[in-house]
Amino acid sequence: MNKRIFVTGTDTNVGKTFVSAALLYALNKKGLSTLGLKPLASGCEKHNGRWENEDALILQEASSLYAPYEVINPIAFPDAIAPHLAAKNKNYRLSVEGITKELHTGLALESDVTLIEGAGGWYVPLNEKEFFSDFAVGLSLPVILVVGLRLGCINHALLTVAAIKQAGLPLVAWVANCVDPNMRRVSSNIDTLKNAIEAPCLGVVPYLPSAKPQEAASYLDSSILV
């Protein structure tokens, strides 16, 4: 088995990395080999002479298959802003072709499941004409959607689901991630999403402000993916 899946979110800061790492740990427990990739990251710090992103490091740690940092995250920018703007600050032009080429080594590694995390939401621009979602389309990747449970999440989730369908990609599953501890009627919102989204829910991750992804793994049914 060599399954590659693209992980996107309803917005930025909805817990894509947290959920992706939790899924990797859950799959690891099943004895599967795993790899987490983050092709593009903005908001990095200089370490040992290179720019490193915290999310990419989390994915690297959660992966059962070791890969050097530059394989996990080949494109990294220091500014914590939209990737195309961070790239412009470094006189770097992002493109689907460029990202695919830079990620070639990571994609060539043999693992049972490889999770490829996007940046922000579905329609994050790379340049004047391309979005990060076009990268997933180019590789015909199935998609997992992380829904950040907060006010407005139903609209954001259903718009994203529609966009994924329009792109011709299969939505294999989604995850409800409770990011707002003060959200009202959480269960009712989840029920609405389950009725509206024609894909299985991998699980509901409760609000875990200080938890590690290993702890969140128990809330996810990774068997749906395999």
Whether the predicted model's global pTM rises above the 0.85 cut: yes
Q: What distance, in Å, lies between the first and last C-alpha atoms of the chain?
A: 9
**pLDDT of 142 above 90:** yes
Domain 3-225 indexed as CATH 3.40.50.300: yes
Mean pLDDT over 71-81 rounds to 95
pLDDT score at 198: 96
pLDDT category of residue 49 using cuts at 50, 70 and 90: confident
| pLDDT digits 0-9 by tens, 170-222 | 999 999 999 999 999 999 999 999 999 999 999 999 999 888 999 999 999 99
12 SS3 class: coil
Q: Give the active site residues.
A: 38
Per cent of the chain over pLDDT 70 is 100
The secondary structure of residue 193, as a DSSP letter, is H
pLDDT score at 79: 93
**pLDDT of 36 above 80:** yes
Mean pLDDT over 142-146 rounds to 98
pLDDT score at 89: 94
Pairing of strands 75-77, 143-149: unpaired
Mean pLDDT over 114-137 rounds to 97
pLDDT category of residue 48 using cuts at 50, 70 and 90: confident
Mean pLDDT over 141-157 rounds to 97
**205, 176 Cβ separation under 8 angstroms:** yes
Q: How far apart are CA 173 and CA 183, in angstroms?
A: 23
pLDDT score at 209: 86
Mean pLDDT over 23-45 rounds to 96
**pLDDT of 1 above 80:** no
70 SS3 class: helix
Main-chain dihedrals φ then ψ at residue 143, nearest 5 degrees: -125, 140
| pLDDT digits 0-9 by tens, 91-120 | 999 999 999 999 999 999 999 999 999 999
**pLDDT of 50 above 90:** no
